[in-house]
Amino acid sequence: MALPAKLTPEKLYRACDPQEFSFRTTAELDGHVNATGQKRAIDAITFSMGIRHDGFNLFALGPNGTGKQSAIMHFLDGIAPNAPIPSDWCYVNNFEKPRNPKALKLPAGKGTTLSRDMQHLVEALFTVIPAAFSSEEYQVQEKDIREKFQEQQGEAIGELEKNAAENNIALIRTPAGFAFAPIRNNEVLKPEEFMQLKQEERDAIDVEITRLKTAMQSILAQIPKWQRETQEKLKELNRNIASFAVKPLVAELRNSYEPLPEVIAYLDTLENDVIENFDKFLEKEPDQRELFPGMAPDRFLQGGSSFNRYRVNVIVDNSRSEGAPVVYEDKPACYNLVGDIEHISQMGTLVTDFTLIKQGALHRANGGYLLIDARRLLMEPLAYEALKKALRTRHIRIESLAQLYSLVSTVSLEPEPIPLDVKVILLGERSLYYLLTLYDPDFTELFKVAADFEDELPVNSDGKLFYANIISSIAKKDTLLHFDKGAVARVVEHGSRLAEDSTKLTAHLQSICDLVHEAEFYAASAKKESVEAGDVQHAIDARTLRASRIREKIREATLKNQILIDTVSEKTGQINALSIYSPGGQSFGHPGKITAKVGLGKGEVIDIEREVEMGGPIHSKGVMILSGFLGARFGIDQPLSLTASLVFEQSYSGVEGDSASSAELYALLSAISGAPIRQWFAVTGSVNQNGEVQAIGGVNEKIEGFFDLCQARGLTGKEGVLIPVSNVENLMLRSDVVEAARNNLFSVFPVSHVDEGIEILTGIPAGEPDTNGNYPPDTINGMAVARLREMAEKIRQFNNSSSDNEE
């Protein structure tokens, strides 16, 4: 078998040539950022925004920082200004049912006009109504009505009084009513005088007084009726006068809003209400704040609380809008989405009215587009349900959460729902999208379009220019130093490194943005005119250094042999496996020692990590695959009479992943065959039951981890790593690693099969079976077969002797 050659330095790192760029610095670029490499997502966005049917809302999925929001905003910036400006919405008092404020739809800009007009109307009413009621005409009419009542009453009683007087009887006003008494010379008879009268005279007086009393009672019975009639007349007069004062003002407004029947209907009810409550405009209301110092300010300034009923609460004001609104709701709490009904405290009681209805993001975005971060939405209690309800019913219904859950018991409102026409765009990670799709049946109904953003961009001229423009736009937006072409090239290379693929660039633009800021900081500190490649490298190194404490500690322990990693000798059943650590946001690689031991047994491979429950399921699966490989290769003609145990030495935390499974197989083959492994090599890659080596992640960090250790101990030229051949494209190694490879001090071998790997590691060929299936004896496989046969024989002999002893 031909062994794979070590990789050339060019394969270890794909450099970006600054000469590919036509600009000198990014200052020459316009900084225009389009959605390069996101065609699939942009097509989805275009479709979703274009289709006006229900449920075609958008979920933009992809990792955070990949520019989903920027791409969507950029797209909307292109279409929203050309869309029609949506209507204004106002809440006004429902005079018939104050608990259900009315929603008024007005053309854009008319909401504030109506609000201002109503304010002016109330101000005018304060002048016009008192003027009408203090007019001579009103005073005379009112006086007439009151006097008529007095006259009516006076005439009836006066007639009776006169009638009584003719019979020498006086009508006298008592503290609580009336009474009749006989008189003489205008004085009531003294009791003794009365008693001196003849019996007939007294009887006649009694009869007369009884008659008069009956007549008086009849008159008094009429008085409440006369009072009612008088009140009715006064009411009618007041109504007529108020109506005369109010109608011209309202008619003027009615003319202004003639094409709007809803407003006209509102003005009609308002006119009636003002007429009914004209007296409120007659007296200057006392300043409630003086009476009650704890009262909320502002609500009692102009016109006082009674006149809130005539105000207009402009919920949506599009007077300054250009096109359809694009709203990003940063805190998508329920009350921020659908609005809220606020309360104010008055004398220890919570009260509210329609002027305290607060708009939500759905109101602002109505007729346009609403962007929400899906994670934040789901973390806010009931917000997601409220959003779905609004989208499903196509109405914004404001409900107070506190009321809904009976957290407060006070007067509240049920405002008229407002029709909703909005495109909602949720931004979130893929996992959220898949979870919602799986568990929420409503979700797929309401968010029918998914814009799946790529994690990576191809490394081509478009991708590189995209990066350059990103840098240019950041520099312009944040007034930073611009980057020269060398610095841009270095950023592009780092983009490939972050993408873990030399043919790709990361789409995680937040990382690039951070790098740009950090590099600019170093360039500015050094008082440079532009950022150079060295500054970018400085920023990368500094970032690595900042996160290097744990890595340094592990390396230090290794160099002190507290962690035993052999990079010099050859050992049987022992190998250096490359593992990766990810504390916080930074990853780094470090070799770990795997040992394998064999003994007589029944063909089991014992994974010690799994036995002590420190191995994850993928790792355990990888070890079981080894049993399959060994069985297929060596257990066809004879039983595998061994027990092998595998362990990650000095591992004190869990092990997960199958990237060490090839290393474990090499250690097993070495242990079975007895061939020692060269410890100056380290290995990574997973393996299948056929022995094919498969790709793994974090290949760059793993190689660099082993390189750093070897370099610390002194490179001899023998050191190197074995990686899966399919990971070659992922290589974007550090410059010192590439330099060492160039100087033949460090090697990277791409391996496609364990047979290639074992030969590199032991210097002994793996061996291929002849036509009878026998391996040559001086090969790894041959040595392994011989050892297994020997072990099988020992077991057979042991079993025989055991049987003899039993007999």
Please tell me which residue in 115, 472, 530, 659 is annotated as part of the active site.
Answer: 659
| CB 179 to another protein: min, Å | 5
Contact 724, 700 (CB under 8 A): no
Q: Which stretch binds another protein (CB under 8 A): 175-183, 512-520, 596-604, 752-760?
A: 175-183
Please report whether residue 194 would count as binding another protein according to CB under 8 A. yes
Please report whether residue 190 would count as binding another protein according to CB under 8 A. yes
| CB 158 to another protein: min, Å | 4
Please report whether residue 225 would count as binding another protein according to CB under 8 A. no
- The secondary structure of 422-461 as a DSSP string is -EEEEEE-HHHHHHHHHH-HHHHHHB-EEEE--SEEESSH
Judged by beta carbon, residue 124 or residue 188, the one nearer another protein is: 188
CA distance 647 to 661: 11
Q: What angle do CA 660, 664, 669 make, to 5 degrees?
A: 150
Q: What angle do CA 572, 573, 577 make, to 5 degrees?
A: 115
Distances from the Cα of 188 to the Cα of 1, 181, 191, angstroms:
150, 6, 9
Q: Which stretch binds another protein (CB under 8 A): 56-64, 183-191, 573-581, 614-622?
A: 183-191
| CB 278 to another protein: min, Å | 22
| CB 206 to another protein: min, Å | 5
Please report whether residue 189 would count as binding another protein according to CB under 8 A. yes
CA distance 500 to 727: 9
Buried residues in 330-363 as b, exposed as e (16+ CB within 10 A): eebbbbbbbbbbebeeeeeeebbbbbbbebbbbb
Give, as ranges, the residues between 582 and 611 that touch another protein (CB under 8 A): none
| CB 238 to another protein: min, Å | 18
| CB 193 to another protein: min, Å | 9
Judged by beta carbon, residue 227 or residue 345, the one nearer another protein is: 227
Please tell me which residue in 102, 504, 702, 747 is annotated as part of the active site.
Answer: 702
Q: Which of 17, 20, 187, 552 binds another protein (CB under 8 A)?
A: 187
Q: Which stretch binds another protein (CB under 8 A): 94-102, 169-177, 269-277, 787-795?
A: 169-177
Q: Which of 177, 293, 585, 773 binds another protein (CB under 8 A)?
A: 177
Is 143 catalytic? The answer is no
Judged by beta carbon, residue 78 or residue 158, the one nearer another protein is: 158
Q: Which of 53, 166, 175, 807 binds another protein (CB under 8 A)?
A: 175
Contact 543, 527 (CB under 8 A): no
Contact 622, 658 (CB under 8 A): yes
Count other C-beta atoms under 10 Å from residue 804's C-beta. Answer: 8
Judged by beta carbon, residue 151 or residue 552, the one nearer another protein is: 151
| CB 172 to another protein: min, Å | 6
Q: Which of 27, 79, 108, 170 binds another protein (CB under 8 A)?
A: 170
Q: Which amino acid is at 238?
A: N
CB-facing half-sphere around the CA of 639: CA atoms within 13 A: 14
Judged by beta carbon, residue 158 or residue 617, the one nearer another protein is: 158
CA distance 803 to 806: 5
Instruction: Determine which helix (DSSP H) or strand (DSSP E) holds 487, and give its type and residue range.
Output: helix 485-499
Instruction: Determine which helix (DSSP H) or strand (DSSP E) holds 582, and give its type and residue range.
Output: none
Judged by beta carbon, residue 160 or residue 324, the one nearer another protein is: 160
Q: Which of 66, 85, 87, 161 binds another protein (CB under 8 A)?
A: 161
Residue 372 forms beta bridges with which residues? 329, 426
Q: Which stretch binds another protein (CB under 8 A): 186-194, 404-412, 464-472, 606-614?
A: 186-194
SS (H, E, C) 296-322: CCCCCCCCCHHHHHHCEEEEECCCCCC
CA distance 549 to 424: 45
- Quick one: how far is CA 132 from the chain centroid? 58
Counting Cβ atoms within 10 Å, is residue 557 exposed (0-12), middle (13-18) or buried (19+)?
A: middle
Judged by beta carbon, residue 19 or residue 174, the one nearer another protein is: 174
> What is the total count of residues that contact another protein (CB under 8 A)?
39
Judged by beta carbon, residue 187 or residue 736, the one nearer another protein is: 187
Please report whether residue 196 would count as binding another protein according to CB under 8 A. no
Q: Which stretch binds another protein (CB under 8 A): 52-60, 157-165, 259-267, 736-744?
A: 157-165
Give, as ranges, the residues between 711 and 730 that touch another protein (CB under 8 A): none
Contact 658, 618 (CB under 8 A): yes
Which two three-digit tokens encode residue 772? Answer: 């009878």
Please report whether residue 581 would count as binding another protein according to CB under 8 A. no
| CB 123 to another protein: min, Å | 28
| CB 177 to another protein: min, Å | 4
Please report whether residue 220 would count as binding another protein according to CB under 8 A. yes
Q: Which of 111, 182, 367, 691 binds another protein (CB under 8 A)?
A: 182
Residue 749 forms beta bridges with which residues? 722
Instruction: Determine which helix (DSSP H) or strand (DSSP E) holds 739, and give its type and residue range.
Output: helix 735-742
Is 225 catalytic? The answer is no
Q: Which amino acid is at 162?
A: K
Q: Which of 32, 191, 320, 770 binds another protein (CB under 8 A)?
A: 191
Please report whether residue 27 would count as binding another protein according to CB under 8 A. no
* Binding track, positions 136-155, relative to another protein; x by CB under 8 A: -----------x--xx-xxx
Which two three-digit tokens encode residue 54? Answer: 């229900």
Contact 345, 374 (CB under 8 A): no
Please report whether residue 224 would count as binding another protein according to CB under 8 A. yes
Give, as ranges, the residues between 197 and 216 that touch another protein (CB under 8 A): 202, 205-206, 209, 213, 216
Contact 424, 58 (CB under 8 A): yes
Instruction: Determine which helix (DSSP H) or strand (DSSP E) holds 694, and give its type and residue range.
Output: strand 693-694
Which two three-digit tokens encode residue 22? Answer: 């036509």
Judged by beta carbon, residue 229 or residue 455, the one nearer another protein is: 229
Which two three-digit tokens encode residue 553? Answer: 């500690």
Q: Where does this chain bind another protein (CB under 8 A)?
A: 147, 150-151, 153-155, 157-158, 161, 170-183, 187-191, 194, 202, 205-206, 209, 213, 216-217, 220, 223-224
Active-site residues, by number, are 659, 702
